[in-house]
Amino acid sequence: MRENPFSLQGRTALVTGASSGLGRHFASVLSKAGANVVLAARRLDRLQSLAAQIEAEGGKALAVTLDVTDPASVKTAFDAAGALGPVTILVNNAGVPSGSFFTKTSEEEWRAVLAVNLDGVFRVGQEAARRMVANGAGGSIINIASILGFGVSKTLSAYAASKAAVVSLTKSMALELARDKIRVMPWRRVTSPPRSTTHSWPARPASACWPACRCGGRARWRNWMGRCCCWRRTPAAS
Ligand SMILES: NC(=O)c1ccc[n+]([C@@H]2O[C@H](COP(=O)([O-])OP(=O)(O)OC[C@H]3O[C@@H](n4cnc5c(N)ncnc54)[C@H](OP(=O)(O)O)[C@@H]3O)[C@@H](O)[C@H]2O)c1
């Protein structure tokens, strides 16, 4: 029988920032495609409840504490993830927004945003890539960027700078890791979501939102993104 090129059966995926928003959604979609999912973030209680939900639906999930700003925490999380098999899919999703005009951005805010959005992607991506290279079976790494990695918006200078750097880092990773059969891809949406979609992007006045109708509203947007993110890891995307 022909193998289903869209199946992730038997693969293990680690999703950072799986305790809310897009990460939670990506983890569910990956599980529905057959992957064992390692749910990683700082809020373990939220991860455990998602893991229970996935297991109740017939999937395999493991909740692990991970702080992407802490190198020791990253290593410990990957060691624990091994219980579900070697991680061959990484979704580098953990991220935080900025919220100040450029002249009002403090050193602390700047560093905090870069520490998660850029340093975290580097750190978790490097740990995953080293293990994938050692394992020899290849893999896929998706770095969650943003439309703001390609453009700008007021009060988001730190965020936009971090995401632009993620896009650049992704290209370097892709270039160097291709020889080890590791695909590295950025992820972004070509139109913007309804701004009330997730925790990081609280509701804003309608005048500050991009029109949700461009992407069909909140539910349709999330489903579309999840499928896209999932498809990029399947053999069909090779
Ligand atoms: N929502 C959008 O409109 C949109 C659009 C384009 C791109 N994105 C990107 O998509 C990703 C997810 O965004 P979201 O909107 O879903 O945000 P969210 O709901 O706030 O989720 C952010 C996640 O990141 C995790 N996180 C934050 N700091 C962390 C740290 N130090 N270590 C580990 N995990 C950490 C949080 O988990 P804990 O607090 O439990 O650690 C949380 O699960 C981000 O990279 C964001 O930039 C979002």
For residues 226 and 25, give the distance between their C-alpha atoms in angstroms, rounded to a whole number: 6
Domain with 35, as residue range(s), is: 12-237
In a domain, 1, yes or no: no
pLDDT cut 70: percent of the chain above it: 78
Reply yes or no on whether the pLDDT at 228 is more than 60. no
Q: What is the pLDDT, as a whole number, of residue 236?
A: 56
User: pTM to 2 decimals?
Assistant: 0.87
Beta strands 139-144 and 182-187 are parallel
How many separate domains does the chain show? 1
Sign of the torsion angle spanned by Cα atoms 89, 142, 65, 136: positive
Longest dimension (CA), the chain: 62
Choice among 26, 159, 187, 221 that is catalytic: 159
Q: What is the pLDDT, as a whole number, of residue 151?
A: 93
Ligand 1 pocket: which residues have CB below 6 Å? 16-17, 19-23, 41-43, 66-69, 93-96, 116, 144, 146, 189, 193, 197-201
Q: What is the pLDDT, as a whole number, of residue 216?
A: 38
Q: How many CA atoms lie within 13 A of 72 on its CB side?
A: 0
In a domain, 146, yes or no: yes
In a domain, 121, yes or no: yes
Compute the C-alpha angle 94/100/104, nearest 5°: 135
CATH of the domain at 70: 3.40.50.720
In a domain, 6, yes or no: no
